[in-house]
């Protein structure tokens, strides 16, 4: 009885909830094929990509389409992040100041895709409430960035499903506490031993009829991969 009560109390710790959510969403390692659709008032644009992740410190994203962007790559290795542009055959290191900038002209930031910040370690957390969202019971957790966290947001609010520990919604606010954009995660499917949202939609609040949709076409967890895969040389070879 005491053990069960302690387990319940630990599950209510917001940092632990976020850690379990990230483990559920990412696994120890994963490989994914994704399609991103950028919808703008005057045009639509679609990007296809492949990605590999290992823990929190290693990730690689390779653009496979359209042809003009094919081979463009992003690599995170521990505290370093690089971008390779095959058109000029050049690799540059991205400073922390660029992590808040738009990724490939989308409504996602570089940090959203590469994930340089640690939601559990780089923010202060508070459970605001539990409520129903999308037909599921969810914790609503407020995240305030610590002073040295390289993000532009004044605060972030996240909805996390209480039974499956999956992310359902994210709201990003500026330093004046104004909502800048929100992300909805849906089309939840069972993949292996877990349930996961496979569509991520980011909508800016100050632009009508604009949004970015990221769809997981394929994802595999706990793949056989190690740190030696995540090199600048391999980033340039993966097409």
- pTM for the model stands at 0.89
Contact partners, residue 17, CB within 8 Å, separation at least 6: 11, 127, 139, 141, 160, 165
DSSP 72-133: -EEEEETTEEEEEETTTTEEEEPPGGGTTSBSTTSSSBHHHHH--S-TTTSEEEEEEEEEEE
The 10s digit of each residue's pLDDT in 189-213 is 999 888 999 999 999 999 889 999 9
The 10s digit of each residue's pLDDT in 129-156 is 999 999 999 999 999 999 887 778 999 9
CA of 14: how far to CAs of 10, 140, 159, in Å?
9, 10, 11
3 state SS of 136: strand
CATH number of 2-237: 2.50.20.10
């Amino acid at each position: 009885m005491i053990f069960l009560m302690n387990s319940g109390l630990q599950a209510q710790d917001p940092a632990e909830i976020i850690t379990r959510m990230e483990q559920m969403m990412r696994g120890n390692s994963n490989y994914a094929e994704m399609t991103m659709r950028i919808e703008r008032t005057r045009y639509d644009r679609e990007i296809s990509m492949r990605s590999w992740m290992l823990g929190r410190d290693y990730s690689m994203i390779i653009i496979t389409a359209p042809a003009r962007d094919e081979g463009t790559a992003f690599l995170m290795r521990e505290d370093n992040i690089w971008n390779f542009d095959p058109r000029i055959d050049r690799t540059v290191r991205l400073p922390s100041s660029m992590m808040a900038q738009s990724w490939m002209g989308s409504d996602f930031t570089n940090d959203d895709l590469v994930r340089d910040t640690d939601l559990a370690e780089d923010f202060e957390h508070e459970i605001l409430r539990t409520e129903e969202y999308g037909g599921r019971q969810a914790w609503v957790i407020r995240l305030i960035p610590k002073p040295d966290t390289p993000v532009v947001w004044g605060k972030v609010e996240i909805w996390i499903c209480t039974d499956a520990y999956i992310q359902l919604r994210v709201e990003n606010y500026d330093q004046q506490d104004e909502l800048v954009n929100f992300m909805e995660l849906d089309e939840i499917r069972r993949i292996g031993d877990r349930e996961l949202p496979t569509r991520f939609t980011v909508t800016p609040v100050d632009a009508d009829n604009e949004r970015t949709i990221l769809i997981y076409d394929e994802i595999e967890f706990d793949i056989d991969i190690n740190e030696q895969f995540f090199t600048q040389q391999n980033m340039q070879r993966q097409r």
